[in-house]
A = this chain, B = another copy of it.
C-alpha cells in the first residue's frame, strides 16, 4: 500500500486518473466479451482466445477495485476546488495481484496462438510464464517501499526477467516463425514489438513516479502510465492475438492456398 500519495490533487489531476481507470474498465470488459466470443476462430486457436479473454476479465475486475480504492483515497474540498488525501491508503496490491496472474497468462496466450508442436511450445510456456511471474514478484517490494535503496534494487532485479523475456521472444521465438502461416508471420512480429513497447511503459511509469514520491504530477504519470499500458498490453494485445488466430483459421488458410493456386 503506497502511503506516499501527494497531499492534494487538482480536479484535472484527480479526474484524469479516475477517467482513465474507468476507460480501462470499459475497454477491458468489452475486450473480454469479444475474445470469449472470438467470431471466425477455429477450434485449434480457441484456447488462446479463452486465455486472452480471461486476462481481460481479471483486469476488468481489478480495475473496479483500483477505481474504488483511488476514489476513497481522496475527497473533494469543494470550497478550495482541490482533492485532499483522506488517509485511507490507495491499495497498490490490486495492480500486482492483477499482474501476477495476467502477465504469465499473456505469455501463454502468445505461445498458444502459434499452435507449435508440444515439444517446442512446452519449454517456451514454462520459461516465459516463470520469468513473467518473477518479474512481477520482484517488482512489488519496490512498489510499496519508501526506502530508495529497496525501491531501486528491486527495480533492477525485476528488470532481469524482463530482459530474459525479450531475449526469448526476439531470439528463440525467431526460429519458430518459419513454420507459421504467411498471414500470421507479420502479426507475430508486431506482437513482439507491441510487447517490447507497451511493457516498457511500466518501468518508465515506475521510474518517473518513484523519482519524486509525493509529487502530484509524478503520481498522476505513474497511475496514468500503468493504466494506459494495461489497456494496450491486455485489450490491444488480445485483439492482435485474435487477428493471429484468424490468420491461422481454416477459412483464412483456404483463402491463401486458393490465391497461391491461382498464381
Contacts and interface: CB of A to CB of B under 8 A. Distances in A.
A261 B132 CA distance: 39
A37 B39 contact: no
Interface string A1-17: 10000000001000100
14 contacts: A1-B11, A15-B89, A18-B91, A22-B93, A26-B58, A26-B61, A26-B98, A26-B101, A27-B101, A29-B57, A29-B58, A30-B58, A39-B47, A40-B47
Q: Which of A26, A29, A94, A97 has the most CB of B within 10 A?
A: A26
A258 to B, nearest CB: 14
* Chain A interface, DSSP helix/strand/loop, else mixed: helix
Given A22-B94, A98-B26, A33 B11 contact: no
Nearest to A51: B34
Copies in the complex: 2
Contacts of A62: 26
B39 A57 contact: no
Contacts of A107: none
Nearest to A255: B118
- For the complex of A and B, list the 9 residue pairs with the smallest distance between their C-beta atoms, beginning with the closest: A78-B87, A39-B47, A39-B46, A19-B93, A30-B54, A37-B50, A30-B58, A23-B97, A26-B58
A192 B136 CA distance: 32
A35 to B, nearest CB: 10
Interface string A198-218: 000000000000000000000
A159 interface: no
A129 interface: no
A95 to B, nearest CB: 11
A58 to B, nearest CB: 5
A228 interface: no
A36 interface: yes
A87 B97 contact: no
Contacts of A26: 58, 61-62, 97-98, 101
